[in-house]
Structure 1
């Protein structure tokens, strides 16, 4: 089996590294006042990628934590994928020029799919789509609104567009330490040709073990946040197990 990538997550709110529960900005736990130091720690632990979300940007529709993101890029050498407030080509171009390896487009994938396709053509391998779903329906605007669009239908819009990955988040699970929605996430991965990265709810080493099951080979990776910060997942043990899965 191909190696699955475990992405540690840094969610940025007002320049700090936080975690939310079910995307609720009022339920933010601050884990580190220095996101760049946190990113460096993740790199030293052996992670190969970093997942960053500008939470304020997701609500504002434009980058709001640029200084924190730039500080992270200055401190680490491993690739960084970034989502939150990326709604136009100028923002895509600016982040890629600053050293972001992959931009994640969420709300605009629903509102303006032509923009996503144009960005994916202009920057092959650099554009991912974030699909955040509540009961299988896509949510937008920092999860504040739920659309009538099904997650799989949104993913199919970009099958031939050059999108390099789908980051799929089950909002009900996010930050709740209840485990990933394995059935829904694996079903989505089976329905699409685009690689799918699971997000939302990775809670324990049992979930790391589940990620090593044969059906989970459909997934390109998984994102871990709160469980990594509070010690429910041991970084070294998780990375070792994933390296030897199969």
Structure 2
């Protein structure tokens, strides 16, 4: 399993939200690129980036911070938030991003996801953010009637390279991941699944590693910033 350190971007800074609430943001770094370099120095294989403002705006907002990270590191990075048309997808991939994450459009415009996955094989992932098993969109501000597992299954034949599954109620709360729901989703599809939300200890990482489902990796944010998880040890646990 791969550990994806998270850098969530709000107003040009690296922050963590509590359960997706933009009003409950803790700033951890005024220099996201420096934070990225710290994660790379600790040995991470990937970086997970989120443009939080962009998720609400529907277009890139923290582009300068993302570009600074891409320019200063050679580590592959995936980005979600505000990517809702082919031009934005093409723009980010041309700037050196390894993978785009499509969330809101995965619900609202599945044809775009399929078109992008065909155009950029191995570089298009789907982000499924759920509350109580139902998919949330537009920066988690709107909860739909779409079932998370049904949405994941609908992309089985689309050629997407991964699904990032986030349990919103666990995200940033340091209360542990929803292992059962994540494992169930991973068993329901053949697409590689990356777990996100609530990881707060090495024990949580072991629980995901040993859940019996073929998880590709896990995203961790607040626990790395707070020091609850040592990145080097976490990579060893998942190796």
TM-score surpassing 0.5?
Answer: yes
The answer to whether residue 223 in structure 2 is matched with residue 227 in structure 1 is: yes
Q: 2:181 aligns with which of 159, 181, 184?
A: 184
Query: Which residue of structure 1 lines up, in the alignment, with residue 117 of structure 2?
Result: 120
The answer to whether residue 209 in structure 2 is matched with residue 212 in structure 1 is: yes
Query: Which residue of structure 2 lines up, in the alignment, with residue 139 of structure 1?
Result: 136
The answer to whether residue 91 in structure 2 is matched with residue 94 in structure 1 is: yes
TM (norm. structure 1) is 0.96
CA shift at 1:214, angstroms?
5.4
* Number of positions where the alignment pairs a residue of Structure 1 with one of Structure 2: 239
CA shift at 1:213, angstroms?
1.3
For the residue of structure 2 that corresponds to 1:211, the secondary structure is: helix
For the residue of structure 2 that corresponds to 1:132, the secondary structure is: strand
TM (norm. structure 2) is 0.99
Q: Deviations over 1:13-52 (max 9, x none)?
A: 0000000001000000000000000000000000000000
CA shift at 1:212, angstroms?
2.9
What are the residue-to-residue correspondences of 1:189-204 with 2, within 5 Å? 189-204=186-201
What are the residue-to-residue correspondences of 1:22-37 with 2, within 5 Å? 22-37=19-34
- Distance in 2, matches of 1:205 and 1:191, equals 26
Q: 1:161 aligns with which of 158, 161, 178?
A: 158
Unmatched 5+ residue regions in structure 2?
none
8 Å contact kept, 2:7–2:32: yes
Query: Which residue of structure 1 lines up, in the alignment, with residue 235 of structure 2?
Result: 239
CA shift at 1:241, angstroms?
1.7
8 Å contact kept, 2:202–2:237: no
- Distance in 2, matches of 1:202 and 1:47, equals 16
- Distance in 2, matches of 1:222 and 1:209, equals 11
What are the residue-to-residue correspondences of 1:18-57 with 2, within 5 Å? 18-57=15-54
The answer to whether residue 32 in structure 2 is matched with residue 5 in structure 1 is: no
For the residue of structure 2 that corresponds to 1:172, the secondary structure is: helix
Q: Deviations over 1:97-145 (max 9, x none)?
A: 0000000000000000000000000000000000000000000010000
For the residue of structure 2 that corresponds to 1:52, the secondary structure is: strand
- Distance in 1, matches of 2:137 and 2:211, equals 32
Unmatched 5+ residue regions in structure 1?
none
